[in-house]
Structure formats: structure tokens, C-alpha cells
């Protein structure tokens, strides 16, 4: 009797181990699509890209303090949200150490500085991945994983994963609002946003066709208040028109996500933005423990072109008290505020990896945008 109990125990363990090693369906990982706000190193491998966070002082408050590809002193919003859900941080797609095992354990991040919803966006950065390109790369990842673990397991793996799509500001800042791009004279504010929505609808539908079921889309912040926009006016104030475009984009995206979440089978697509809280932070930095909400912490004096956080730049005294890290990008502490707002709004909870063997019900009623 005792012997057979031991045998049962052993075989259960073996099955468990086997399941753990081969049953990759255990693990929930993230696939991240985005721009410089989510890039964790892709552009650093694009040697011709003009949008790279490869020099000091980028990354000064992250890990060993060396540049790691993030366009910030510390973490991205997606880092902080993923951490709060207990999910591993996905490596950059172009990271040379990426292989099937790492993908199955950690997911992949395709985000690329300068990228947008539209292919043409950010073309003056020469090299970057727009959203269509990122989806194409994701298809390649799927082929690799199918070859490794078989189609059925791969399908389950991709359906249980969490997806983040966070792009849009470059479609305005590095496209529509720049006269060198033909979109700036082809469209009006309304028709441009319509054009973005038609494109994003196709892209998110494409991702659904590839298995994405749990997907969150992040809206835009008050991008008319980034230091680079403020220098456009003599007063140094926020660009009202740019902020209005961000608000219109957020309204339209919220509607689109709520449509898709109710029309695509088994889809839980959520939209969240932190526009209001960041706007309040910019107007009342002291209320949130910040001291500066208009200048970049890393700056090169009066010379203020696009990417001026360079080794010769000077840093502000207390990086945790500046809203902006460089001309475009928020600091780690501002990202934390944004992430916490999204966690609250979208109700993100820690994911139970051990409980995921039975798939989470994906048929829940569409939550709608908010
Ligand atoms: C956008 O780029 C992708 C490849 O990256 C291409 O397949 C697609 O046709 C392009 N779409 C448009 C509308 O140009
Ligand atoms: C939706 O979920 C149900 C139940 O899990 C499944 O049978 C069906 O194939 C799914 N449909 C799609 C399109 O994923
Ligand atoms: C995770 O899920 C498993 C199986 O459903 C359950 O036994 C366990 O208590 C859960 N853990 C947490 C922390 O919720």
C-alpha cells in the first residue's frame, strides 16, 4: 500500500514536472506594442535610427544605471503595470538573446521609439517600427512558437497572454503637426483622427485574428505640455491645440475599443487614459510632491531641439520631483503616477499564474471604454 502511494506521488510529480516543462500554457506573459514611451531597447539595435536612448543619462535610475533603451531615467508605464500584475517584463524583440524559451517565459516587447499607428509617422527618424510592422514581427514570433510547442498549445498561449497597445502621440507630434509630412495638409483635425481610428481598428482586428483576447490600449496624455511643445510659444505655455487633439483622440479611441470589445468574439479589450491626472499634475505639481512640471530634468541649457538628453547635459537635482525627464518623455515618478491611475481605472489585479491552467473566462461582458 505504502509503496503504491509513493509511486502515485512520484508519478503525479512527474506529470506535474512534465506539465511544467512542456505545458507552457501555464504561463501568462505580455506582448507589448508601442512607441518610445514603451520601448525597452529595440531602437538601440536599429543602428541608423535617430531616436535612440543609448547614451547617458538615460536609464540612470534603472538597474545598473546604464542606458538600457528606455526613454526615461527609470521605468516605463508598462513596466510598472506589468509589475503590479506580477507579470515578467518582456525583453525587446531585437534583443539578440531572445529565443523561444525566453519568449515562453517572458513575452516580447516590440515597441519602438518614433513609431506610430500610421506607417509614415516618424519617418525622419529613418529607422523605427510602426504598429503594422510590430504586428508583422509578432506574426513571426507566433510561427517560431508554433514550431516549438505545436499549434494547439501555441494558440492557447497566445490567447491567454496580455496585450498592450500604446501609440498615437507620434502620429501627431511627428506627423500631423509637422508641415514636412503630407498628412498635415491632407487632413483636418477631425478627418485625421478618423483616419487614425480606421487604421487602429484594422490593426486591433488583425491582433484579434492572431489570438489576442486580453488587450489594453493606453490613451494619450496632455502632449501639448511636453517641454518640446512648450518652446513653440513665447510664453512657454502648453499648446492648446495639441492638447485638444489628444482629448479627441482619447474620446474616439475609447469608443473604438468599446465597439471592438463587444463585436470581436471573446475579446476583453480595455481603454484607459491618464489625461486628467497628468493635466492636474502639470498645473499643481506640489499637490503630488513634484516641484517642476515644465522643464526637462535632463537638459542642454538653452539649446532645445528634439533629443537633448546627452552626456554633456546637466541633470536636475532631484529627478523624482520633475514631471519630465527629457523634451518628450516623463520621468520615472510621473510614469508611476500614470501607471497607478491606469491600474485603478482598469482594475488590474495580480495574475494568478498557478490558477491559469484553466483558462480565465474570456466571455465576460464587454467592459466598455472609460
Ligand atoms: C504598412 O507597412 C506594412 C509593413 O510594415 C505593410 O505591410 C502595409 O502594407 C503598410 N500599409 C500601408 C497602408 O501603407
Ligand atoms: C470563444 O470562446 C469559446 C469558449 O471558450 C470557444 O469555444 C470559442 O471557440 C471562442 N471563439 C473564438 C473566436 O475565439
Ligand atoms: C491561485 O490559483 C490556485 C488554483 O486555482 C489557488 O489554489 C490559489 O489559492 C490561487 N492563489 C492566489 C494567491 O490567489
DSSP codes of every residue in 220-287: ---GGGSHHHHTTSTT----HHHHHHHHHHHHHHHHHHHHHHHHSTT-EEEEE--HHHHHHHHH-GGG
State the distance from the centre of ligand 2 to the C-alpha of 96, rounded, in angstroms.
Answer: 35
Which is more confident, 368 or 278? Answer: 278
Among 329, 331, 332, 333, the one annotated catalytic: 329
Question: Which residue in 36, 49, 258, 313 is the catalytic one?
Answer: 36
- Distance from residue 152's CA to the centre of ligand 2 (Å): 13
Confidence of residue 110 (pLDDT cuts 50, 70, 90): very high
Nearest Cα to Cα of residue 45 among 137, 117, 121: 137
Mutation test residue for ligand 2: of 155, 160, 265, the one with most atoms within 8 Å of CB: 265
Q: Whose CA is nearest to atom 13 of ligand 2?
A: 265
Please tell me the number of the ligand nearest to residue 354's CA: 3
Residue 2 lies in a domain: no
Specify if 264 maps to a domain: yes
**Quick check: is 34 in a domain?**
yes
The answer to whether residue 248 is catalytic is no
Range of the domain at 104: 28-290+330-346
Handedness of CA 223, 224, 226, 228 (dihedral sign): positive
Is 301 within the bounds of a domain? no
At 226-265, the pLDDT tens digits run: 999 998 888 999 999 999 999 999 999 999 999 999 999 9
Question: Is the predicted pLDDT of residue 13 greater than 50, yes or no?
Answer: no
Q: Is 259 a catalytic residue?
A: no
Local confidence band at 355 (pLDDT 50, 70, 90 cut-offs): low
- Cα gap 220→252, rounded to integer Å: 11
Q: Does residue 181 carry a pLDDT above 80? A: yes
Structure confidence at residue 63 as a pLDDT band (50, 70, 90): very high
> Rounded to two decimals, what is the model's pTM?
0.89
Q: Write down the pLDDT at residue 126.
A: 85
Q: What's the whole-number mean pLDDT along residues 119-142?
A: 95
Ligand 3 atom closest to the Cα of residue 355 is 2
Band (pLDDT 50/70/90 cuts) for residue 17 is very low
Cα 27 to averaged position of ligand 2 atoms, centre (Å): 20
- How much is the average pLDDT of 8-31? 54
Over residues 310-319, the mean pLDDT reads 94
Residue nearest to atom 2 of ligand 3 (CA): 355
Residue 366 has pLDDT above 80, yes or no: no
Average pLDDT across the chain, whole number: 89
pLDDT tens, residue by residue, 144-169 = 999 999 999 999 999 999 999 999 99
**CATH number of the domain that residue 220 is part of:** 3.40.50.1110
In terms of Cβ atoms closer than 10 Å to its own Cβ (0-12, 13-18, 19+), residue 1 is exposed
For the segment 94-110, the average pLDDT, to the nearest whole number, is: 97
Host H or E run for residue 13: helix 2-22
Measured in degrees and rounded to the nearest 5, phi and psi for residue 108 equal: -140, 145
- What is the pLDDT confidence band of residue 305, given thresholds at 50, 70 and 90? low
Whether the predicted pLDDT of 370 surpasses 60: no
Task: State residue 304's pLDDT score.
Answer: 65
Q: Is 354 in the pocket of ligand 3 (CB under 6 A)?
A: yes
In the structure, what pLDDT confidence band is assigned to residue 4 with cuts at 50, 70 and 90?
very low
pLDDT for 26: 53
Atom of ligand 1 nearest to the CA of 120: 14
Q: Which of 47-51, 92-96, 120-124 has the lowest mean pLDDT?
A: 47-51
Closest ligand relative to 212 C-alpha: 2
pLDDT exceeds cutoff 90 at 367: no
Ligand 3: distance of its center to the CA of 353 in Å?
8
When pLDDT is averaged across residues 170-177 and rounded to a whole number, the result is 96
Any domain includes 242: yes
In a domain, 370, yes or no: no
**Distances from the Cα of 5 to the Cα of 1, 15, 18, 229, angstroms:** 6, 15, 20, 71
370 lines ligand 3 (CB under 6 A): no
Count the domains in the chain: 1
Backbone angles phi, psi at 214, to 5 degrees: -110, 100
For position 23, what pLDDT does the model report? 45
Q: Is residue 341 part of a domain?
A: yes
Cα–Cα distance for residue pair 322/309, rounded to 1 Å: 14
Output b/e per residue, 272-293; b: 16+ Cβ within 10 A: bbbbebbbebbeebeebebebb
User: Cα(257) to centroid of ligand 2, in Å?
Assistant: 20
Q: Annotated catalytic, 326?
A: yes
pLDDT at 195 over 50: yes
298, part of any domain:
no
Catalytic residue among 95, 273, 326, 332: 326
Amino acid at each position: 500500500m505504502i509503496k503504491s502511494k509513493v509511486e502515485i506521488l512520484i508519478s503525479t510529480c512527474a506529470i506535474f514536472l512534465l506539465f511544467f516543462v512542456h505545458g507552457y500554457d501555464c504561463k501568462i506573459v505580455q506582448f507589448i506594442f508601442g512607441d518610445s514611451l514603451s520601448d525597452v531597447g529595440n531602437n538601440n539595435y536599429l543602428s541608423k535610427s535617430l531616436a535612440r536612448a543609448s547614451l547617458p543619462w538615460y536609464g540612470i535610475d534603472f538597474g545598473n544605471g546604464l542606458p538600457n533603451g528606455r526613454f526615461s531615467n527609470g521605468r516605463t508605464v508598462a513596466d510598472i503595470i506589468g509589475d503590479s500584475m506580477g507579470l515578467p517584463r518582456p525583453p525587446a524583440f531585437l534583443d539578440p538573446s531572445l529565443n523561444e524559451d525566453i519568449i515562453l517565459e517572458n513575452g516580447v516587447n516590440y515597441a519602438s521609439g518614433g513609431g506610430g499607428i500610421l506607417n509614415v509617422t516618424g519617418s525622419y527618424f529613418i529607422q523605427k517600427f510602426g504598429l503594422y510592422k510590430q504586428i508583422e514581427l509578432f506574426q513571426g514570433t507566433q510561427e517560431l512558437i508554433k514550431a516549438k510547442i505545436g499549434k494547439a498549445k501555441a494558440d492557447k498561449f497566445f490567447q491567454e497572454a496580455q496585450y498592450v497597445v500604446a501609440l498615437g502621440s507620434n502620429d501627431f507630434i511627428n506627423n500631423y503637426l509637422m508641415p514636412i509630412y503630407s498628412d498635415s495638409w491632407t487632413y483636418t483635425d477631425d478627418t485625421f483622427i478618423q483616419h487614425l481610428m480606421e487604421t487602429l481598428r484594422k490593426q486591433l482586428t488583425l491582433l484579434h485574428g492572431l489570438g489576442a483576447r486580453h488587450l489594453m490600449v493606453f490613451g494619450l496624455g496632455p502632449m501639448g505640455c511636453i517641454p518640446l511643445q512648450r518652446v513653440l510659444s513665447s510664453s512657454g505655455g502648453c499648446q492648446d491645440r495639441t492638447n485638444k487633439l489628444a482629448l479627441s483622440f482619447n474620446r474616439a479611441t475609447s469608443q473604438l475599443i468599446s465597439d471592438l470589445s463587444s463585436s470581436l468574439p471573446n475579446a476583453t479589450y480595455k481603454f484607459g487614459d491618464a489625461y486628467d491626472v497628468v493635466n492636474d499634475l502639470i498645473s499643481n505639481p506640489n499637490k503630488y510632491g513634484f516641484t517642476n512640471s515644465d522643464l526637462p530634468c535632463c537638459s542642454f541649457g538653452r539649446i532645445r531641439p528634439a533629443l537633448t538628453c546627452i552626456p554633456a547635459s546637466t541633470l536636475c537635482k532631484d529627478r523624482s520631483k520633475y514631471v519630465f525627464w527629457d523634451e518628450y518623455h516623463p520621468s520615472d515618478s510621473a510614469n508611476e503616477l500614470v501607471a497607478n491611475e491606469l491600474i485603478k481605472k482598469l482594475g488590474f489585479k495580480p495574475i494568478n499564474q498557478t490558477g491559469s491552467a484553466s483558462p480565465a473566462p474570456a466571455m465576460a461582458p464587454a467592459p466598455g471604454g472609460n
